[in-house]
Amino acid sequence: MSTSPDWALLDGIAQAELVRSGAVSAEELVRLAIERIERVDPRLNAVVIERFERALAEARAPLADGPFAGVPFLLKDAVCHSAGDPYHFGMRALKEIGWVERSDTTLARRFRAAGLVTLGKTNTPEMAGSATTEPLAYGPTRNPWDLDRSPGGSSGGAGAAVAAGLVAVAHGNDMGGSIRIPAAACGVVGLKPSRGRVSLGPELGEAFGSSTHEHVLTRSVRDSAAVLDAIAGYEPGDPYTAPPPHGTFLQAALRDPGRLRVGVLRLPPALAIATACQAAVDATAALLDRLGHELVSVEVAPLWDELQGGEAGAALATRELERLEQRVGQPLARELLEPATAYLVELGASVSATAYLADAQVAQQWARRVSASWRAQCDVLLTPTLPELPPPLGKLAPTALPPAELLEQIGRLVTFTAPFNGTGEPAISLPVWWTDGGQPVGIQLVGGYGEDAGLLSLAGQLERSAPWHARYATLE
């Protein structure tokens, strides 16, 4: 561990203050970030698409007068896209044709309006479909705390980049844990906001059903909150939107949360988790107790019910591939799909509309039972983020196992995260605990739907009580 005061280890708000005060120019800050990426990223492979010259030109031009004006930023190469930049979604098929996007998503525009300067795009598994980041298109991203381990997925490139100080803020999205898992694996902050908090417009109302949530990975809770203030809100045509907070999310992150009933999830006997993951939960529960919160042991029986979702999930993969082909105006080479993607696409092609709707309705009923169960017992739910430490690279690589077996193993890693994509409730992974060997172990806090502000208040209190800012991965 190092405690260098290097600018790269400041959070985004602090970097923006440097620019605003004139202590450093946006161009200087961007140039320093580019130099750090060029120096450090060859060991990580987190940044797979560069836009350095465009970023420098944007930093020299008048920037949007947003809260993060001049702050270097990385965009995940999935779902959110920017006009004039490559968009490959972790796919060899899109990389092969050199696809360049023609338009901005609503979120890309909002990032730009916040003043963030995008330096490039981060690595992601094919179609963001794994809990590790090892696509055949670009190769594996390495965990900066242990280069032989995965940084998690699907926002693994983003998590590794923030942990290594390449940028303070990086975009991610979460379909089953894809923000929270890399945050836990890489020792950073990862919030999945409430469903509908951040628009998927203008093309989409939903992505991969209602499971996709957009946000960022950050070094600090206040950055996560301030970015959410900048990007949240209804876009005309959105099918739904989360209720706005009272005040701002940043104000919430800086205030005391009051005394809360925190439920510590009681696991069924058959579910074994790693000792380190249980230790992280226990240490966090002890800290919450010292902070004056009421701890209760919570059983959420519906959480472990078998869900009928395989057919619906496969159909969504099939539709996403069709949508991409329509967007690029040509068929994508099926032989370039990774085995698990090809397996899902083939399975999904045979799913009827009525079978898809039946699966969706079962999932909705299950989500109601889960939310009602835990909310009747507590205000906030505490769980592990991951059931085990990040797997060694190669263990869950695209060709490591037969597709069905690989998908089953990936499913274990999303045990604690995916349920709250189903319920749409906000959930955050925090690096409160570390092993004796220096590996971060994230814990997850879940809030009631629309209660993102309260969740950020509790996260901010934990951060002030057990600060992690001085910890960063030393790769130089």
Mean pLDDT for 83-107 is: 98
The answer to whether residues 347 and 280 touch, using CB atoms and an 8 Å cutoff, is no
Q: What percent of the chain has pLDDT over 70?
A: 98
Note if the pTM is more than 0.85: yes
Mean pLDDT for 134-143 is: 98
Confidence of residue 470 (pLDDT cuts 50, 70, 90): confident
Structure tokens that stand for 399 in this block? 């060709």
435: left (phi over 0), alpha (psi -120 to 50) or beta: beta
Confidence of residue 309 (pLDDT cuts 50, 70, 90): low
What is the Cα–Cα distance from 88 to 55, expressed in whole angstroms? 19
Residues whose CB is less than 8 angstroms from the CB of residue 9 and which lie 6 or more positions away in sequence, other chains included: 165, 219, 469, 472
Coil, helix or strand for 241?
coil
Q: Hey, which CATH number is domain 7-309+353-465, 3.90.1300.10, 3.30.70.920, 3.40.50.261, 3.40.50.2300?
A: 3.90.1300.10
User: Apex CA 344: angle with CA 101 and CA 99, to 5°?
Assistant: 15
- Omega before 154 within 30 of 0, i.e. cis: yes
Backbone φ, ψ for residue 295 (5° rounding): -100, 135
Mean pLDDT for 161-170 is: 96
How confident is the prediction for the chain on average, in pLDDT? 95
pLDDT at 296: 98
Q: Which residues are catalytic?
A: 76, 154, 178
Domains of the chain by residue range: 7-309+353-465
What ranges make up the beta strands (E) of 52-167? 72-76, 117-122
pLDDT at 305: 82
pLDDT at 163: 96
Sheet-wide strand order for 189-192: 47-50, 117-122, 72-76, 169-174, 213-218, 189-192, 427-434, 440-446, 380-384, 261-265, 294-298
What is the Cα–Cα distance from 374 to 210, expressed in whole angstroms? 21
Does position 307 have pLDDT exceeding 70, yes or no?
Answer: no
Window from 270-274, 278-282, 457-461 with minimum mean pLDDT: 270-274
Confidence of residue 7 (pLDDT cuts 50, 70, 90): confident
Confidence of residue 472 (pLDDT cuts 50, 70, 90): confident
- Bridge-based pairing state of the strands 440-446 and 380-384: antiparallel
Mean pLDDT for 268-274 is: 93
Mean pLDDT for 48-61 is: 98
Does position 9 have pLDDT exceeding 90, yes or no?
Answer: no
Please measure the distance between the N-terminal and C-terminal CA atoms of the chain and give it in whole angstroms.
12
| DSSP at 381 | E
